[in-house]
Amino acid sequence: MSFVVNLLYNMHPQNISILDYTYTLPEDRIAKYPLPIRDESKLLVYDKGNITDSVYKDLTSHLPADALLVFNNTKVVEARLLFTKSTGGVIELFCLEPDDKYPDITTAMLQRGRVLWKCLVGGAKKWKGGALVKNISSPTKDITLSVTMLERLNDYFSIEFSWDDDTVSFAEILHKAGQIPLPPYLNRTVDETDKDTYQTIYAKHDGSVAAPTAGLHFTERLFESLEAKGIGHRFVTLHVGAGTFKPVSAATMSEHEMHAEFIDVPLDFIEDLINHKTIIPVGTTSLRTLESLYWLGVKAGTREVNDNSELTINQWDAYNLPQYIPLKEAIESLTNWMKAHNSNRLITKTQLLIAPGYKLRVAKGLVTNFHQPQSTLLLLVAAIIGADWRRMYDYALANNYRFLSYGDGCFLKYEG
């Protein structure tokens, strides 16, 4: 049996079958709402095969004093827009990501008067053509929002949004007219409270359609506790796309296309990475950002990269690029490339897939929630703790942990 397990966890991730990463998640174990006090959520601690129970407010006691926590400060936007036709039919637009003409999400969010966006459309068959119109009430001036379908593509629609007030950005339009896009597995309507509870207390940059949920547990009290012990924290930005909920339906991962997401990281943060022995990302998005920085450095140091459009991470880059580059060398290659291109911020896309067979290059652990069966996020957990992911999830189910976005979480220490 041990031979089979070792073989499974050392195969190339392309050959992984998602059917090997499933478990039974009862509906009543999915947390529909968060706890009233964020940091009183339960925290499972996994350390060298040992599992212990804790709570988020005591996370500090499980971290060394020299640790650096890395958070994703993306902000969830009200990406669901509902339009009622004259016939009474409702058409829903879900804003996925901006058109490729924009260099990044922030630029698209700041567009005034008109913007192009990739969207899912609920009730598309009811939309026979012509513009959808929505009147938006405002204390200063009412705004008319018009939406036109430009093109229907395989996975989304190309949509033009236009509005009659060019002093207002698209981010403001969403804030005024949209709804928070709760994960579909919550299977409930949006409450007014979700505007606050489905947002981290440090959320800053508009752009995500899903929250970096591990961060939902952090409070001012917890940050003060971390600071008192000398534990540092920094922020990166990865805008979470709807692809994070995309189910894996392919027979093997080689046939599954990992979703791409924008990352935005300052130069001084990247330079500082080599000064910390224990870097702990809070959330899978923070982890993917950190690990992507390493591989971007490998690419910058071993290949000719002419501009930012070429400095991206594709799904299998981490398994095909040179594997022997030390962290310090990779980070220096990346920062040298940025300086040579007069860039003090790195804004690019990553499709990095972290799955069994992957070895962490930057992070020494992970704070995260409990994830859906047969998901790429569960593969990520298995990459960190191996076959013990199943024992840990069985323990969590047997000990009344709450699952998914509004649920409890775990702290995984990495020994690789």
Model confidence pLDDT, tens digit, residues 176-219: 999 999 998 998 999 999 999 999 999 999 999 999 999 999 99
Of 2-11, 69-78, 135-144, 341-350, the range with the lowest mean pLDDT is 2-11
Whether residues 109 and 48 share a domain: the answer is no
Whether residues 50 and 98 share a domain: the answer is no
Whether residues 321 and 203 share a domain: the answer is yes
**Residue 405 falls inside a structural domain:** yes
135 close to 129: Cβ distance less than 8 angstroms: no
Look-up of token digits 């896009």: 181
The reported pTM is: 0.92
Whats the size of the chain, residue-wise?
416
Mean pLDDT of 131-141: 85
Whether residues 59 and 117 share a domain: the answer is no
Q: What is the pLDDT of residue 4?
A: 40
Give Cα 312 distance to the centre of its chain.
Answer: 17
Whether residues 112 and 139 share a domain: the answer is yes
Within 10 angstroms of residue 77's Cβ, the number of other Cβ atoms is 22
**pLDDT digit string, tens, across residues 322-355:** 999 999 999 999 999 999 999 999 999 999 999 9
Distance, CA of 253 to CA of 315 (rounded, Å): 10
**Residue 186 falls inside a structural domain:** no
Look-up of token digits 């509870």: 197
The closest alpha carbon to 47, from 64, 29, 30, 69, belongs to: 64
Whether residues 298 and 152 share a domain: the answer is no
Whether residues 86 and 163 share a domain: the answer is yes
Whether residues 166 and 230 share a domain: the answer is no
Range of the domain at 307: 2-75+198-413
Give the total number of structural domains in the chain.
2
Whether residues 92 and 21 share a domain: the answer is no
pLDDT at residue 356 is higher than 80: yes
Whether residues 68 and 95 share a domain: the answer is no
**Residue 190 falls inside a structural domain:** no
Whether residues 408 and 313 share a domain: the answer is yes
395 close to 374: Cβ distance less than 8 angstroms: no
End of a domain among 131, 146, 179? 179
